[in-house]
Structure 1
Amino acid sequence: MAWKCNVCGYIHEGDAPPEICPVCGVPASEFTEIPSSEEPAEESAVEQNVSDVMVQTMINWGVTHVFGMVGHSNLGLADAIRKQCEAGKLHYIGIRHEGAASFAASAFGKLTGKPAACLSIAGPGATNLLTGLWDARVDRIPILALTGQIDTQVLGPGAFQEVDLASAFSSVACWSRTVLDTSNHAELMNLALKNAILQRDVGHLIFPNEVQTLPAPAPQAGSPEGRLPNLETTPPAQSIDQAMELINKADRPAIIVGHGARFRMSGILKLANELGCPVITTFKGKGLIPDSDPLGCGVLGRSGTLVSAHFMNSADLLVVFGASFSQHTGINPDIPTIQVDLDPITLGKFHSVAVPVVGEIGITAELFLKRLKNPACTDRRKEIAAKKAEWTTEKKNRAAKHEGHGLNAAEIFEALSELIPENAVIAVDVGNNTYSFGRYFESKGQPVLMSGYLGSIGFGYPAAMGAWAAAPDRPIVALTGDGGFGQYMGELCTAVKYNMNITHILLNNHELGKISTEQKMAGMTVWETDLHNPSFAEYADICGAKGFRVEKLNELEDAVKAALAVEGPALVEIMSDPELI
């Protein structure tokens, strides 16, 4: 008898479901019995090969999706994945470039908190994964990389597609091992996923070609049972005491939330409402509180607003949940700060903070709420509303500017704020289009996925594919510039192949606008940032998607509504001004 977790997909074999899912922690009530007619026939020990055991172990850990490319040095592993896809236990998405596979898997993890896998061949296929894996690593996202390798007997002298993958992945993976014929195969997959999940990092396995189809000496698959601790960590009492002494006497506290608070906002918002204090987000945290919320003050830092800057700089205490204090965020180090994070290394990483609190963010916020004792702070809702009204006027003034070179970013995002559905997931790229999105888009609470610390151009469209895989029933919106989409244009064909419901908003200014801006600011000549582009709308039609082109503001609403109504991939190409950002 087998039982499947309805939340994460973990498969448990036994007469009854486990009391608690070892992967995602939900109770037994969230498990559904898999009818015996749907269970794959048990294969004998002789029939189970190394790849079969390792892929089943991967599934037992809750991995549901693999993004990759099948090739000559991963055929045995790919065949094991095929069997599980046909059994309904796994989903495979064949991409056109391995870099898109790792970006998609990274975005999947950013949206769900759970690892997806990316698959490649040896040599160039494996090295193509590295950028997306670095994106996951620096943004602290769990991800599993599966790379083929040439036969071990020809390793060394420089055979065709030979790359020392152990060395190549040593700096990007927190855990990387080669699968040998003598390995404990289930244990290798156990450890790859345990490290990826607990360290929120890259787990990597190298599969030499000849090992993949060897009979498994121990056909028993592994699982996370007894492997993962409960991470609902309560902070030390002394840390809570120190924090509450500051919170209870603060006059103008402000709360800042980052991506690390994505799944724990309930307690934070209760605390903010009790204090009547502003809630500011990092760019990676955009959408964690709707901009319409009376306490929502938008994004902080280079992509931020005048509202967020005012309320941070006027605060006498900052309470920061799940933010990394990156340079681009610009959290003021001169204001007394309480920093809360589950990772002790993150606490005070860039500068000393008044109270570093190690603990699970949701639990800590609830403890703060319980310990409030007649806080001295001023309710700032009216002040927030006044500053937001000033910002609305400023945005309208900016939107009114036109120089005849395309649409103004402020007017584009004013329209998109109304048009993008409240339940959408938004994947953004890198560049001025994204900075403008951070400033001008009025979030209704839509989760935003981005290449945060790495800031990798090209992330946007593959990330939308990862979001679609994680949430196929939600509207998925990709927001890119022409430069970013140009790096992974072929993936539009992937979206068509799998009928991904992705609405792509593409700002076309025929330029790497962010780089032009940097050259100007440095007093340099603008050089080699202009782009020769096709008609992206026509390109979408050629690929089998639906393309729309917008040259005037009065065309934008109808085009976006039509694209959102398409059951499958659609692209809206907006001719935009590179200067009015």
Structure 2
Amino acid sequence: MSDKSSIAAAPPLRYITVADAILEQLRLWGGQRIYGVVGDAIFGLMDAIAKQEAISFIAVKHESVAALMASAEAKLTGRLGVCAAQMGPGLANLMNGLGDAFLDKAPVLAITGQAPLNKIGTSCKQFINQQQMVQAVSSYSELIVHPDTIYESLVQAMQTSVSSKTVSHLSIPMDVFALTTTLKPIMMQPAAVSTVDPSMIRHSLKLMKSARRPILLVGGKARAHTAAIQTVAEQWGCGIVLSYGASGTVPDSHPHMLHGIGEGGNPNVAGLFKQADVVLAIETTWWPEGLVPHQAQVVHIASDPVSLGVSMRMAAGLTGDITEILFNLMEELEPFVPDPDWIRQIKECKQTWYVQNDTERNQATSPLHPASIIKAVEQHIAEDAVIALDEGDSTLWFLRNFRAISQRVLLSERWRTMGAGLPAAIAAKLSSPDKQVICISGDGGIGMVMADLLTAVKYRLPVVVIVFNNGTLQMERDKMLMKGLQPEGTELTNPDFAKVAEACGWNACQIETVAQLETALQQSLSGSKPVLLDVRTANIPHPDFKS
């Protein structure tokens, strides 16, 4: 007879629900929070969230805001942003924020409920083919129909989002959340390290060494390489031009910094940029037609190979570790003697704009000139503050007039949705609670998301919101006038924003002078409650849209 005591007992199987498996896998990959709105199709997920503490649920007032928050967190941190919503209309409302993440290449995962398994494909209320619905703004979308597929499908979704900087989506039938699996979570695999092609480095250096009128075009995602970018600029003797929304990537005080090109940029840059014979474009696809050189040789550097050659015709493309690439270029660029006449033109372009811009920024009018509002903000915020921009006229005034040090700017760069500012500010404060967070919004943008003033109060987030209040969708009005059209639908019916904010639990006040704004900023930026400053703003057409 065999000795039964010598036979090891098999370990008992571990049964875990799909809802718990989702949270376990997210936690293993560094997930911290899920933004969303509760609906009956995700009750199972909500119950699982309530029974643990590692992953928080941030309950917002509208699903669009949830997805915009997930997108903003992903942009700010580089980590996966996660949002969740009800089936059907919940997903439909997420689409705006998912579009923002998709076009701005932010890694976001959306989890939505779905009809029960036995109702899929029927006339069940709110049922729709969600994979078809989300196709335009996602790179991966799957329907989960068996509990044993949850880990593999979830990891595939997360891996797709993180590696390709895109949106992924999972539809989970409401009854599947409670089903169990005996499988285990999947460990995160280290990202593959791409190597830089030495032959392409040599080709790029050949182009750079041939330059007499070089320009550096820098995107916001290059901010981690600021020191190397400044060294390249000085060694190569080039001007530094920022792509749309890249404020703070390189300090405005750098002698080669020429500010932005295109909307909201330095209006004098285009004339200089068009003369460039070689352009080194780093982490950007911004190439505004009519403002860029036609014959320049473009060396495009991007961490994501999918971005190479997007929007611009490149002569050389380099992908991989940006720091390594810039180090290789700097090491081999010497000796290089910049053209002194080109250096002179760069400095003249910078100085000319500074003089013009000072006149614009120093107007003490009431209602306030938009540029004077931006100057006051610039002079009172911390060097490492996060600035969330809404879409609209206020954004262009910011990009034109803000002289950044190293502040981080969040905006809807390509999707350009109004209402993005407040959600981004809330997500930024949750992600970086030790930093000042300021939202700059027009009255049209804040009007779209006012319900989520309550979200900032609920989670005790001391953000500062500055509302450019001029009673008009100013950009749309000015664009229509510029085209010789009669503006219609641009006049706004606004509430008393300060009273609305106070009713939601914010500190708030109306601002009518620069002195009042400066005092309010001094008091607000170190407070413990969210603050809204309703700034009476003059109806001044942005210079880019003058008739």
CA distance in 2, matches of 1:95, 1:378: 55
On the 8 A contact 2:390/2:445 being kept in 1, the answer is yes
1:56 to 2, 6, 24: 24
Structure 1 counterpart of 2:476: 515
Structure 1 counterpart of 2:48: 80
Unaligned runs of 5+ in 2: 1-10, 543-547
Shift of 1:159: 1.5
How far does the alpha carbon of each residue in 1:304-348 deviate from its partner, in whole angstroms, 9 at most, with x for none?
013533542343321111111354794434322111123333222
CA distance in 2, matches of 1:431, 1:51: 40
CA distance in 1, matches of 2:18, 2:58: 22
1:227-266 correspondence to structure 2 within 5 Å: 228-231=190-193, 233-266=194-227
Partner amino acid, structure 2, of 1:208: P
Partner amino acid, structure 1, of 2:44: G
Q: Secondary structure at the match of 2:151?
A: helix
Structure 2 counterpart of 1:100: 65
2:360 to 369, 393, 398: 398
CA distance in 2, matches of 1:267, 1:44: 55
Structure 2 counterpart of 1:162: 127
2:186 to 222, 226, 237: 222
Shift of 1:279: 1.5
CA distance in 1, matches of 2:471, 2:41: 39
On the 8 A contact 2:214/2:237 being kept in 1, the answer is no
Shift of 1:76: 0.9
How far does the alpha carbon of each residue in 1:377-407 deviate from its partner, in whole angstroms, 9 at most, with x for none?
1366665454333222212333466886x21
Partner amino acid, structure 1, of 2:51: K
How far does the alpha carbon of each residue in 1:147-178 deviate from its partner, in whole angstroms, 9 at most, with x for none?
11121212223222212211111222111111
Structure 1 counterpart of 2:8: none
1:524 and 2:488 matched: no
Identity of aligned pairs, percent? 29
CA distance in 1, matches of 2:76, 2:505: 27
How far does the alpha carbon of each residue in 1:157-202 deviate from its partner, in whole angstroms, 9 at most, with x for none?
3222212211111222111111122542211111110000111101
Q: Structure 2 vs 1, CA of residues 517 and 573 (structure 1 numbering), >3 Å: closer, same or farther?
A: same
Moved more, 273-282 or 240-249: 273-282
Q: Secondary structure at the match of 1:255?
A: strand
TM-score norm. by structure 1 comes to: 0.87
How far does the alpha carbon of each residue in 1:123-156 deviate from its partner, in whole angstroms, 9 at most, with x for none?
1111111111111011111011011112121222
On the 8 A contact 2:147/2:181 being kept in 1, the answer is no
Structure 2 counterpart of 1:358: 319
Structure 2 counterpart of 1:444: 405
CA distance in 1, matches of 2:89, 2:150: 25
Shift of 1:441: 1.0
2:98 to 133, 145, 148: 133
CA distance in 2, matches of 1:298, 1:308: 8
On the 8 A contact 1:98/1:125 being kept in 2, the answer is yes
Moved more, 51-60 or 272-281: 272-281
TM-score norm. by structure 2 comes to: 0.92
CA distance in 2, matches of 1:485, 1:47: 46
1:181 and 2:146 matched: yes
- Provide the aligned length of Structure 1 versus Structure 2: 531
Moved more, 440-449 or 407-416: 407-416
On the 8 A contact 1:268/1:366 being kept in 2, the answer is no
CA distance in 2, matches of 1:535, 1:364: 52
Q: Secondary structure at the match of 2:305?
A: coil
CA distance in 1, matches of 2:316, 2:248: 26
1:120-519 correspondence to structure 2 within 5 Å: 120-218=85-183, 220-225=184-189, 228-231=190-193, 233-327=194-288, 330-378=291-339, 384-399=346-361, 406-519=367-480
CA distance in 2, matches of 1:443, 1:329: 26
Moved more, 440-449 or 325-334: 325-334
Unaligned runs of 5+ in 1: 1-42
Partner amino acid, structure 2, of 1:126: L
Partner amino acid, structure 2, of 1:97: H
On the 8 A contact 1:300/1:329 being kept in 2, the answer is no
CA distance in 2, matches of 1:329, 1:79: 55
Q: Secondary structure at the match of 2:441?
A: strand
Shift of 1:470: 1.4
How far does the alpha carbon of each residue in 1:269-312 deviate from its partner, in whole angstroms, 9 at most, with x for none?
22223224222111232210111122222111111013533542
Q: Secondary structure at the match of 2:40?
A: coil
1:552 and 2:513 matched: yes
Q: Structure 2 vs 1, CA of residues 330 and 60 (structure 1 numbering), >3 Å: closer, same or farther?
A: farther
Moved more, 183-192 or 440-449: 183-192
Structure 2 counterpart of 1:7: none
CA distance in 2, matches of 1:509, 1:351: 37
On the 8 A contact 2:506/2:531 being kept in 1, the answer is yes
CA distance in 2, matches of 1:485, 1:70: 23
Structure 2 counterpart of 1:19: none
Shift of 1:477: 0.7
1:115 to 80, 83, 88: 80
Structure 1 counterpart of 2:3: none
CA distance in 1, matches of 2:105, 2:15: 38
Q: Structure 2 vs 1, CA of residues 75 and 456 (structure 1 numbering), >3 Å: closer, same or farther?
A: same
How far does the alpha carbon of each residue in 1:348-402 deviate from its partner, in whole angstroms, 9 at most, with x for none?
2334222222333222111101111211313666654543332222123334668
On the 8 A contact 1:122/1:147 being kept in 2, the answer is yes
Partner amino acid, structure 2, of 1:222: I
Q: Structure 2 vs 1, CA of residues 356 and 472 (structure 1 numbering), >3 Å: closer, same or farther?
A: same
CA distance in 2, matches of 1:329, 1:360: 31
Q: Structure 2 vs 1, CA of residues 56 and 365 (structure 1 numbering), >3 Å: closer, same or farther?
A: same
CA distance in 2, matches of 1:545, 1:283: 32
Moved more, 186-195 or 393-402: 393-402
Q: Structure 2 vs 1, CA of residues 572 and 522 (structure 1 numbering), >3 Å: closer, same or farther?
A: same
On the 8 A contact 1:165/1:206 being kept in 2, the answer is yes
On the 8 A contact 1:251/1:376 being kept in 2, the answer is no
Shift of 1:115: 0.8
CA distance in 2, matches of 1:234, 1:310: 37
How far does the alpha carbon of each residue in 1:62-90 deviate from its partner, in whole angstroms, 9 at most, with x for none?
22221111221101112222333x2xx22
Moved more, 272-281 or 561-570: 272-281
Moved more, 471-480 or 549-558: 549-558
Q: Secondary structure at the match of 1:171?
A: helix
Q: Counting helix residues as a fraction of each chain, which structure ranks higher?
A: 2
Shift of 1:267: 2.5
